[in-house]
Amino acid sequence: MEPDTPPPPSEHPTLRHRDRRLLGAAAGVAAALVALAVAEAVAAVSRTFQSPVLDVGDRVVDAAPRWLKDLAIDWFGTNDKVALLVGIASILTAYALVVGVVSFTRRLPLALVGIALFGVLGAFASQTTRRQAPFVAVLPSLIGAVAGVVALWGLRRLATRPAEQAATEPASERPTADRPARTARPSIADLVPNDRRRFLAGAAAMTAGAFVVGAAGREARSRFDVGRDRARIAVPGARRPLSPAPTDVAAPVPGVVPFFTPNDGFYRIDTALTVPQVAVDTWRLSVTGMVDDPFELSYGELIDLPLVESDITLTCVSNEVGGNLVGTARWLGVRLDDLLRSAGVSSDADQIVGRSVDGYTCGFPVAALDGRDALVAIGMNGELLPLEHGFPARLVVPGLYGYVSATKWLTEIELSTFARFDQYWVERGWVDDAPIKVQSRIDTPKGLATVDAGTVAIGGVAWAQTRGIGRVELQFDDGDWVEATLAPELNDVTWRQWSHDWEATSGRHTIRVRATETNGAIQTEERSEPFPSGATGRHQIVVIVR
């Protein structure tokens, strides 16, 4: 056959079904990327906007049942947020593939409705997140969806022979009695190889453009990052500074955690997918609710109040026996009782609610303000609060699990009652009064470690904030409990470190630890899950001595 001969009409190279599906899938993904990129770019326009992906992610976090959250933490640990975003990306991709295939094999309008629906979902998420977003927050989703619709429609056009071309077709293609006229509307069946090249070029250009625009949007949004603001603010001094802690509060055994947990190693637990960026110039802390004189403070006014320092061990209720969702810091802040005294708390109020800029809430008894150093903290271990730990201000209440007390990115303290208001985790079944339970942990040796026979240094931490640790004991295999050596107590709201020299004989040994509070209460051996009020049970490890 001569190369230039056009194919006979009967072999006109229409697109086979499989190819349509492939091109449709590619078009779907390209259009989805365009939609997401445009949404990111729009989200970069204003601080009040948010990436729709993150909005949807926040919704998923809030709506996920507890077993799913537990599973996510089990599988992914503190990477659970990354896992969630990867999950959302996978679902988005699958959805885009389906929409694309539908647009190339079935009805284009159906596919366009599919994209529009996705925009509506994003808009819905933006309106129902905890941080009461203004109505304009729907714009990134909606404009992104429009861009996606246009992109998919355009790609379909590129893959389809324009209708006018039908008129200029060779006579052999004109309708005859036995070959009915094609519909005037361009049909996917008309795709010719030349168009396929244009289609692929279009899809590739859209994909590349989406990455550029999306990355530029993310980059532009970073101008709202407050890390630089924070770096410019000097750490204010305390009216009541603490002297440096004595060094002997740390157990003299390598392998035990440092007494003060470094900020960058401090556990982080929150429901925020991205760290809230709170600009100090517009931030306000208000004291509201059942008080005589509600008031509001700017950041400057807050840090000008008398500041105190206090060493406090913070603990997460989700900490498993032996876990590390616990850390100690020297906090700098305003005493909450001082702050509330100036507002005049109603005698009917029994709950102090802390509200975060991201809508998170905690709540704890007014009765917890019994003289302990409950703080509106602005500093941590000699620095301003790190962004992850609640910059510009957070609550820290000694003796209560973080979820009821330690609101980060704090913006409102509301006096209320337990009857009237359930905070974030109480709505999800956790208890509303959550004192920290006594716990102890073996830090060294590590479980399943192999050690040499002879003297083995064992060490760890124990905590019972507000009651204090009076004794720590160890049990080797099924022997008698032996007392470990306690490092001096710094105060009764920090953990206490302990150590013990063990004469290890070869073989496989189980080591258990238990703590006793200064009031005589012994840590129970009864195992219970963190839900709904904190784990109980004793930490034990197995070591191999050779």
CA distance 402 to 314: 7
What Cα–Cα distance (Å) separates residue 533 from each residue in 269, 319, 351?
Answer: 16, 11, 18
Both structure tokens of 494: 């920090």
φ/ψ of residue 317, rounded to 5: -65, -25
Cβ proximity to Mo ion: between 67 and 135 the closer is: 67
Could you say which of 403, 424, 476, 495 contacts Mo ion (CB under 5 A)? 403
Contacted by 361, from Mo ion, ligand MTE, none: CB < 5 to 8 Å by type: none
Beta carbon of residue 316, minimum distance to Mo ion (angstroms, whole number):
3
Asked if residue 393 lies in contact with residue 300, where contact means CB atoms within 8 angstroms, the answer is: no
Using the rule CB under 5 A, is 431 a contact of Mo ion?
A: no
> Smallest distance from the beta carbon of 137 to Mo ion, in angstroms?
28
Cα angle, residue 442 at apex, residues 441 and 445 outer, rounded to 5°: 160
Is 255 exposed, middle or buried, given 0-12, 13-18 or 19+ CB atoms closer than 10 A? middle
407 makes contact, choosing from ligand MTE, Mo ion, none, with CB < 5 to 8 Å by partner type, with: ligand MTE
The CB-of-535 to Mo ion minimum distance in angstroms stands at 12
Paired sense of beta strands 540-545 and 450-451, if any: parallel
Judged by beta carbon, residue 139 or residue 314, the one nearer ligand MTE is 314
Q: What is the Cα–Cα distance from 235 to 304, expressed in whole angstroms?
A: 11
Shortest reach from residue 272's CB to ligand MTE, in Å? 6
> 3-class SS at 107?
coil
| Min CB(317)–Mo ion separation in Å | 5
- What whole-number distance in Å separates Cα of residue 71 and Cα of residue 55? 22
Q: Pick from 113, 238, 269, 522: which binds Mo ion (CB under 5 A)?
A: 269
Question: At 324, which amino acid appears?
Answer: N
Query: How many chain residues bind Mo ion (CB under 5 A)?
Result: 4
Tokens for 32? 């989805």
By the criterion CB under 6 A, which residues form the site for ligand MTE?
A: 266-272, 314, 316, 356, 358, 360, 389, 402-403, 406-409
Q: How far is the CB of 327 from ligand MTE (least distance, A)?
A: 6
CB of 401 to Mo ion, least distance (A): 6
| Token pair of 458 as six digits | 């064992």
**81 vs 182 by CB, closer to ligand MTE:** 81
Give the nearer residue to ligand MTE in terms of CB position, either 182 or 268. 268
Q: Given the complex with ligand MTE, which of 149 and 377 has the nearer CB atom? A: 377
* Partner interacting with residue 475 (select from Mo ion, ligand MTE, none; CB below 5-8 Å by kind): none
| CB distance 314 to 327 below 8 Å | yes
In the complex, the smallest distance separating the C-beta of residue 495 from ligand MTE, rounded to whole angstroms, is 14
Residue 106 has φ and ψ, to the nearest 5°, of -125, -115
Residue 182: both structure tokens together: 């094609």
327 binds Mo ion, rule: CB under 5 A: no
Compare residues 269 and 431 and give the one whose CB is closer to ligand MTE. Answer: 269
What separation in angstroms does the CA of 238 have from each of 230, 303, 306, 315, 384? 18, 10, 7, 24, 13
Query: Of ligand MTE, Mo ion, none, which one sits near residue 96, judging by CB under 5 to 8 A according to partner kind?
Result: none
The DSSP bridge partners found for residue 471 are 516
Give the one entry of ligand MTE, Mo ion, none that residue 358 binds, where binding means its C-beta sits below a cut-off of 5 to 8 angstroms depending on kind.
ligand MTE
Q: Which does 356 bind (CB under 5 to 8 A by kind): ligand MTE, Mo ion, none?
A: ligand MTE
Residue 402 engages Mo ion in binding (rule: CB under 5 A): yes
Pair 35, 147: CB distance under 8 Å: yes
Closest CB to ligand MTE among 272 and 303? 272
Nearer to ligand MTE, 146 or 431 (CB): 431
C-alpha–C-alpha distance, residues 359 and 276, integer Å: 11
- As measured in angstroms, the least distance from the Cβ of 314 to Mo ion is 9
Binding partner selected for residue 409 from ligand MTE, Mo ion, none, CB under the kind-specific 5 to 8 Å limit: ligand MTE
In the bound state with Mo ion, the residue whose beta carbon lies nearer, of 119 and 363, is 363
CA angle, 366 as apex, 363 and 371 as ends, to 5°?
120
Contact residues toward Mo ion (CB under 5 A) are 269, 316, 402-403
